[in-house]
Structure 1
Amino acid sequence: MSKRVYCLYRVSTTKQVDLDELMQADIPMQRKSCREFAERRGWEIIREEQENGVSGFKVSAANRDKIQLIKEHAELARFDVLLVFMFDRIGRRAEETPFVVEWLVDHGIEVWSVNEGQQRFDNHTDYLLNYIRYWQASGESKKTSVRTKTALAQMVQDGKFRGGTTAYGYKLVGSGQLNKRKHEVKRLAVDYTEAAVVREVFRLCIELGYGKGRIVECLGENGYLNRDGNPWSEGSIGYMLHNSVYTGILSSGETKSSPFDELKIIDDTTFVKAQLIMSMRCSNTQDRNIPLNTKGKSLLSGNIFCGYCGGRLVLTSNVRSYRHTDGTTVQYRRMRYVCYNKSRHRADCGGQTGYIVHRVDDPVSSEMEKVLKQLANDKNWPKAQTTNSEKLTELTRQMEQAQQERSEAVARYEQIRLRTSELLAKSKALPDGMLLDLASDAYTVAAEAEERVAAIGAKLTEETQIGNRISEFHEKILIWSRIFDICSVERKKMIVCELIDRVTVTRGYAIEITYRDEILRMLETAKKLPKGSENKQ
């Protein structure tokens, strides 16, 4: 009776798969070799299993359906021989595959390779060779992985397309260069039709504060479909908003390229702003001043706080009714900002439980409109930049001085350490405690100098960022001042978030507005800070 044979064919990538005459995936080289091998030995192949695009190194045997099926049938004694083209088709994991083979043999299955023969376990040498074979295969996989990662990293650094799906907003065009296989190398280029949709997505996120769901709804309402002609999904929008390729930066794993200007669809400021909005919405800290969403008719969301306990005020609404003199009943929706700490008894709060929305929003909206018009009409706003430049100059001078002091302190410490080593080498005795005191004092001075450099550096970075934002804000303010009183509630919410850090409300609807640093700088420079407004930071 001829032996019953199961064959297992595997390739690591789908690119290694061919199509047969029925246009089905096939691995012809392995299949042909195994069939010829079985025919020469008079074996009968009763089943053939095939794994397309399954890595024998990355994927565990426990997660490979074909391996699990073969083990299941081995326990039922449905076949006598497992035949593969090479043993590494079973797997390439040194810590796992040798034991899979040993398990099969222990269950009465002969394991054969067309190129390497039968794997036996007659003595200790067989066990050792079995392990060495897969240890070597595992090492080869690791080396291949390193070479592949290095090659892909070099490609993205050179601005070349590394393969895979092209991000929405881009297309592939010929580069005029040929690879080793004489195929033209493709490069990315901006698809201007799709790029317009990408910019619209970022605009909806930043200007209107839309989340992924509302962006999908808006795109659908305006007839925007994805590349396949289907409606957009929230996952695709989320991936788009987080994808740095739109700033011209290509990536492969942890490797990032320098920005390529010809690939930029979104400027860096816009991209960073989108990341900030999304990250703050994922955070439940008191530092969040971005609304979780821009739905509803309230102006403030996420940036209004109780003036007593410091807790965040949340928006609530309920339906109320009143009766006319003629007996008819009218229902209306009352909206309030409610102190969450007090309403839920989470903290001792002496303030009001709630504040009617329009009694807070109307004064804040009026104040914002007034501030915007003042700043837009102010001819002396460059003074804010001048003040910023003066501070930068002074901080730069302080940094240079601190760096000089640090260099001198480090040199002094090294001099003492070197001198001490020389004295010890000459066996010269030092007074008790002298070595420790000298080294300790010098090290303390050097450490303090390092701290001053770090502190001034942080101030310098902060002041530089404020200066950049002042220029950016002035351009925005010119637009906001013209549209604030006529734009949608969503747009107003996001503008208010750009202008202020928080609004604090106390009993009697006393409202205190805390402006952002750059806005405060512009207002102070113009000497037009509205009365009752201040910055607590």
Structure 2
Amino acid sequence: MKLNATSYVDHYTTKDGVRHETPRHFRYICAGKAMKRSECDGQSAYVADKVDCQVIDFLRECFSRIKLTAREVALESRFKAQMTDVKRKIKELEKDSESQKSKLRDLTEEIADALIGNSKFTPDILSMAIEKCKQKIVDNNAEIQELHQRLENQEEELTRIDYYYSQFKSWADEFDKATLERKRMIADELLSEVSVGKGYEVSILMNATYQQFISA
């Protein structure tokens, strides 16, 4: 369940009749828990500082690792990994297309039997299956073509990886001096999910685009 950031100010009156207010308090509210719409075992409200501190510590660890990762090493390793992944996907799609073509041949033969009543399938059902196979082959070919284009445009792919590395590195350089609001904006870009459970147990999932640079 998504947490919503809220804030509040407490008021109190002293013996001399003067009304005072406390500094603003920030917290995260789990609407699902508060309204009993969720089965989670966490709380309905969390003190923001306690959550933020854990997230900030996690980000500092990530930043310390990216600072130790040379640009050349990061780009070369990730580029090779991505190109290997592209080639793997092409092989998988080509294998699936061959499987679909084999299935298509079988269905085409089956529909001839269906037309003379010698099949357990109706011509309509077989026609739908044939169209599904044909569409799958078309979709696979389109994706294969796109992946081959990525292999051909290696310089463009390397530029894209370099952009994300540079962005990650710039956040690492500015983070400690940034305002809390800016830190939260950076966290929103770097992290894909932050889950908070009972006892302020925080689980953090990093955006894979940036995780790739600090993975072992």
Deviations 1:298-329 (A, max 9, x none): xxxxxxxxxxxxx2211222223689xxxx97
Amino acid across the alignment from 1:390: T
TM superposition shift of 1:355 = 1.1
Partners of 1:339 and 1:353 within 8 A in 2: yes
Question: How far apart, in 1, do the equivalents of 2:107 and 2:39 lie?
Answer: 54
Say whether residues 1:518 and 2:204 are aligned partners: no
Contact 1:314 1:339 in 2 (8 A): yes
Partner residue of 2:3? 313
The separation in 1 between residues aligned to 2:131 and 2:29, in whole angstroms, is 53
Kindly indicate whether residue 132 of structure 2 is the aligned counterpart of residue 447 of structure 1: yes
1:486 counterpart (167, 177, 192): 177
The SS at the match of 2:210 is helix
* TM-score between the two structures when normalised by the length of structure 2: 0.69
Deviation, 1:357, is 1.0
Q: Please say if residues 402 and 449 of structure 1, whose CA atoms lie closer than 8 Å, have aligned partners that are also in contact.
A: no
State the alpha-carbon separation in 1 of the partners of residues 182 and 175 from structure 2: 8
Question: Does the 8 A contact of 1:501 with 1:516 survive in 2?
Answer: yes
**Residues 471 and 459 from structure 1, CA distance in 2 versus in 1: closer, same or farther, beyond 3 angstroms?**
farther
Cα deviation, 1:437-465, whole Å, max 9, x if unaligned, reads 79966974773574477479679979x7x
Instruction: Write out aligned runs for 1:386-535 (5 A).
Output: 386-407=80-101, 410=104, 432-434=117-119, 444=129, 447-448=132-133, 450-451=135-136, 454=139, 470-524=161-215, 527=216
Partners of 2:174 and 2:87 lie apart in 1 by 37
Deviation at 1:503, TM superposition (A): 0.7
**1:339 pairs with 2:24:** no
Change (3 A) 1:488 1:333: closer
How far, CA to CA, are the matches of 2:205 and 2:142 in structure 1? Answer: 26
Deviations 1:123-178 (A, max 9, x none): xxxxxxxxxxxxxxxxxxxxxxxxxxxxxxxxxxxxxxxxxxxxxxxxxxxxxxxx
Structure 2: which 5+ runs fail to align? 151-156
Greater RCO between the two (CA within 8 Å, min separation 6)? Answer: 2
Taking the aligned partners of 2:145 and 2:173, their CA distance within structure 1 comes to: 34
Deviation at 1:349, TM superposition (A): 4.7
Name the CA distance, whole Å, in 2 between partners of 1:366 and 1:336. Answer: 18
Question: Distance between the aligned counterparts of 1:402 and 1:356, measured in 2?
Answer: 51
Deviations 1:484-503 (A, max 9, x none): 12234443333212211121
CA contact (8 A) 1:342 1:348 kept: yes
How far 1:408 moved relative to its partner? 5.6
Structure 1: runs of 5 or more not aligned: 1-310, 425-429, 528-537
CA 1:461–1:486: 2 relative to 1, 3 Å: farther
Whose Rg is larger? Answer: 1
Which residue type is aligned with residue 84 of structure 2?
E
Alpha-carbon contact 1:406-1:446 (below 8 Å) kept = no
- Which has more helix, going by share of residues? 2
Checking the alignment, whether the CA contact within 8 Å between 1:416 and 1:439 is kept in structure 2 is no
User: RMSD in angstroms over aligned alpha carbons?
Assistant: 4.2
* CA apart distance, 1:409: 5.1
Share of identical aligned residues, percent? 19
User: Normalization by structure 1: what TM-score?
Assistant: 0.31
- Tell me the residue number matched to 2:153: none
Distance 1:504 1:457, change over 3 A: farther
For 1:374 and 1:504, locate their aligned partners in 2 and report how far apart those are by CA, in whole Å: 23
CA apart distance, 1:356? 1.0
Q: CA deviation at 1:474?
A: 0.7
Instruction: Name the SS for the 2:42 alignment partner.
Output: coil
Using the alignment, how far apart are the partners of 1:342 and 1:447 within structure 2? 44
SS in 1 for 2:88: helix
User: Which AA in structure 2 matches 1:396?
Assistant: I
The alignment partner of 2:22 has SS state of strand
Q: Which amino acid aligns with 2:31?
A: Y
What pairs with 1:16-165 in structure 2 (closer than 5 Å)? Answer: none
Instruction: Choose which of 348, 362, 378 in structure 1 pairs with 2:69.
Output: 378
